[in-house]
Amino acid sequence: MAEIIGRKHEQHELRRLYESGESEMVVVYGRRRVGKTFLVNNTFAESDFAFKVTGLYHRRLNEQLANFDRALREYSNDATLPQSTSWMDAFGALKRYLKGLSSSGKKVLFFDELPWMDTRGSNFITALEWFWNGWASAQDNIMLIICGSATNWIINKLFKHKGGLYNRAGSRLFLSPFTLAETEQYLKSRGIELERYDIAQLYMIMGGIPFYLKQLEPGRTVADNVDNCFFKKNGRLWDEFDNLYETLFANSEVYIKVVEALAGRQVGLTRDEIIATAKLPDNGKVSRALKDLEKCGFVRAYHYYGRKTKMQTYELADFYTLFYFRFIRDNYAGDEHFWTHSHDNPRKLNWAGYSFEQLIKSHINQVKRALGIASVLTEQSGWHIDKRDLNDPDLSGAQIDLLIDRRDRAINICEAKFYGSEFVIQKDYSMNLRNKIEAFRSATGTKKTLVPTMITTFGVKPNMYSGLIQQQVVLDDLFAML
């Protein structure tokens, strides 16, 4: 079996369920390309699978059934099995095959891309319920592993649907992208040695998605690799965006409009603002899209500090999607060396600032550890205020992208800077930061200790203004393996 980078908790959970003394259903889900199939295939030996089948994308019922029958004939070594005409037939044949196997050891059934099997009008869910509830769950040696990229199907048909499979999964494993530390480990396993600054740049483009990282070639510069993957005509990932959203979400048009609206802003948007920006009808489809996108990790929901209502604000958290809308979409078939030629492009600098903020938020536990507050209960939020809403005429409006509100009666006011060297605080920047702190104190009336905090790549260069910063987090801290 191939080496698995990270995924220790998920491997442990799969083995725990395998070794239990009863039948188990486990759902492994997450975005496309994150490594779900790889995890299952490499946690178990091929001989552990009693049956394994993969659904077919955008294929009709008869093709799905034929595919299922072929897999069953292979595992049962019985070429005479009749063709199924319905999912009840197919699951009945699977049940008879499993009954005929030796009773020793757990029988692992792996249904990969299971949502694709549920074609319109096929009664797939009814048949699966009959198989699991009517027989398999009553055994003591069946392990059913359900895997799928169509996350909204998984959530709505298995987790929320009040049918026979509701709450039946003994374990739900959401597979997250790699962390920075795991990304570094993965690249090294493929013979790619890079400085952490370069790894961070790649992460801000691709996220910790193993399939994307797999496309990188040793010996090439970061810019050359990015051009080859995204900007060269018919490059390795040139058509990834459409495939990504179509396979994850039914009615993907609404989802794409939501993320497009968020990609065009440097600050988060409320649901009403998303509807207005994307010109979408105000209905339940938008709410469902936001919930699904959040559960997939594409969107991050948060509250603004001190806001009386609990209205959520949403920001785009998926690195690839942000990169696509900022650069790829408008450049397709244009400059094949776009990223190499964008060294001093102001749009690139603007993107890097926002993307680095998202990198920090996706590694908030590493930030807390570096600040020495890993065990302190905290809440992360953003905050902004217009000048007209301040009572002090000497203060300007202010925006703080990350506040860490701590139970120990302190608040870290965090500034993020993605910089190629030590960050130098100049007089104007110092005055602006002081204004933010005083505006926040004045507007919120907080009595907590305010801790100015810089999160940068290489730290803050000491000078006459750097004393304002009380705590620092640097890029190496974000690579901590927790």
User: How far is it, in rounded angstroms, from Cα 6 to Cα 177?
Assistant: 10
**Architecture field, domain 8-174:** 3-Layer(aba) Sandwich (3.40)
CATH code reported for the domain at 364-478: 3.40.1350
Token duo for residue 293: 């996108």
Using only C-alpha atoms, the chain has a radius of gyration, in whole angstroms, of 25
| Domain parsing of the chain, residue ranges | 8-174, 180-238+332-354, 242-323, 364-478
Token duo for residue 238: 């040139």
Whether 332 has a pLDDT exceeding 70, the answer reads no
Q: What is the pLDDT of residues 343-398, one digit of tens each?
A: 778 889 899 999 999 999 999 999 999 999 999 999 998 888 887 777 777 777 78
Q: Is the dihedral of CA 424, 426, 431, 436 positive or negative?
A: negative
The predicted pLDDT at position 14 comes to 94
The predicted pLDDT at position 167 comes to 54
Structure-derived torsion over alpha carbons of residues 373, 376, 377, 380, reported in degrees to the nearest 10:
-10
Q: What is the pLDDT of residues 413-431, one digit of tens each?
A: 999 999 999 999 999 999 9
Whether 162 has a pLDDT exceeding 80, the answer reads no
CATH code reported for the domain at 242-323: 1.10.10.10
Token duo for residue 59: 């294929």
> For residue 445, which phi and psi values (nearest 5 degrees)?
70, 20
DSSP for 335-374, please give it. Answer: -TTTTGGGTT-HHHHHHHHHHHHHHHHHTHHHHHHHHT-T
> Which residue in 147, 143, 116, 144 sits closest to 37, CA to CA?
147
Q: Answer for the pair 240, 274: CB distance below 8 angstroms, yes or no.
A: no
User: How far is it, in rounded angstroms, from Cα 334 to Cα 139?
Assistant: 59
Q: What angle do CA 351, 450, 307 make, to 5 degrees?
A: 70
The predicted pLDDT at position 151 comes to 75
Q: Tell me, what amino acid is at 44?
A: F
User: How far is it, in rounded angstroms, from Cα 232 to Cα 228?
Assistant: 5
Secondary structure letter of residue 481 according to DSSP: -
The predicted pLDDT at position 187 comes to 96
Q: How confident is the model at residue 2 (pLDDT cuts 50, 70, 90)?
A: low
User: How far is it, in rounded angstroms, from Cα 457 to Cα 421?
Assistant: 7
Q: Answer for the pair 26, 145: CB distance below 8 angstroms, yes or no.
A: yes
Token duo for residue 6: 């990270």
User: How far is it, in rounded angstroms, from Cα 224 to Cα 36?
Assistant: 29
